[in-house]
């Protein structure tokens, strides 16, 4: 038996609930649940408290294999955290790039300068919103909204994947979902930028400046 199984066995043998055991050794119930679910190990002080309460030896309750397993879990959780952070930051950088390119001096000075940014192309500048005289922009706007929805979904999933222990244990599932969402959202934004810079902007028609 590993540490989690031994702890659960000892607790049930003494007729204690997780909350009752937590109260005995002055920790939270969630800490006991975490140990029994194999999501972590107690520190030296809590390990000593468990051994004293159950009258067992430390080297029996926690073996070297348990420590190796915990080290492996820690590495997986670190990769998971970095992946979730990427799921939020990668699309956010695309949005930030669009905003930065929108507020360039050339766009601010003249309302008739063709906007060179995704956000300016969609929202328009000055008194002539491009969507009013360039119907094809409606498709770009719809595509942008879809991209933003995928980005929001990626961010929400990342937060839940970090917050819920049951999702954190399913590392492989989270890995595929996270990578898929990151690639999809980044690809959608990249496609939109390509459309704006290479296709839409050269075809822009602006009225002559008075």
pLDDT in tens, 14-44: 999 999 999 999 999 988 998 888 777 888 8
Q: Do the domain assignments include residue 131?
A: yes
Report how far residue 112's alpha carbon sits from residue 125's, in angstroms, rounded to the nearest whole number. 8
Separation of alpha carbons 180 and 196, rounded Å? 24
93 lies in some domain: yes
Distances (CA, A) of 90 to 95, 161, 189, 201: 9, 17, 10, 25
What pLDDT, on the 0 to 100 scale, is given for residue 206?
44
Given 62, 77, 98, which residue is the final one in a domain? 62
Predicted TM-score of the model (pTM): 0.41
At residue 24, the pLDDT reads 92
Q: What is the pLDDT of residue 165?
A: 58
The pLDDT of residue 42: 84
Q: Residue-wise over 130-166: b if at least 16 C-beta within 10 A, else e?
A: bbeebeebeebeebbeebeebbeebbebbeebbeeee
Please report the pLDDT score of residue 4 as a whole number: 85
Spatial contact of 2 and 65, defined as CB atoms under 8 Å apart: yes
Q: What is the CATH number of the domain that holds 28?
A: 1.10.260.40
Rounded CA gap, 182 and 167, in Å? 18
Task: Pick out the chain residues at pLDDT < 70.
Answer: 64-77, 79-81, 83-84, 86-88, 90-145, 147-148, 151, 154-155, 158-159, 161-178, 181-182, 185-186, 188-190, 192-210
Are residues 96 and 172 part of one domain? yes
d(CA 92, CA 200) in angstroms, rounded, equals: 23
Identify the domain containing residue 25 by its residue range.
Answer: 3-62
The reply to whether 25 falls in a domain is yes
Query: 107 and 172: one domain?
Result: yes
């Amino acid at each position: 038996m590993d540490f989690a199984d031994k702890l659960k066995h000892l607790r049930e043998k003494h007729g204690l609930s997780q909350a009752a055991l937590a109260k005995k050794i002055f920790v939270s119930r969630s800490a006991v649940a975490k140990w029994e679910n194999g999501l972590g190990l107690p520190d030296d002080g809590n390990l000593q408290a468990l051994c004293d309460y159950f009258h067992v030896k430390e080297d029996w309750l926690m073996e070297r294999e348990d420590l190796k397993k915990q080290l492996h879990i820690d590495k997986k959780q670190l990769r998971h955290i970095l992946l979730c952070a990427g799921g939020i930051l990668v699309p956010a950088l695309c949005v930030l790039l669009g905003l930065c390119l929108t507020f360039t001096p050339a766009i601010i000075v003249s309302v008739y300068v063709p906007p060179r940014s995704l956000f300016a192309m969609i929202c328009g500048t000055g008194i002539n919103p491009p969507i009013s005289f360039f119907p094809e922009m409606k498709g770009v706007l719809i595509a942008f909204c879809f991209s933003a929805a995928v980005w929001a979904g990626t961010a929400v999933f990342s937060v839940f994947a970090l917050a819920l222990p049951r999702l954190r244990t399913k590392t492989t599932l989270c890995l595929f979902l996270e990578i898929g969402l990151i690639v999809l959202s980044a690809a959608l934004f990249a496609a939109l930028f390509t459309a704006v810079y290479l296709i839409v902007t050269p075809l822009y028609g602006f009225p002559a400046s008075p």
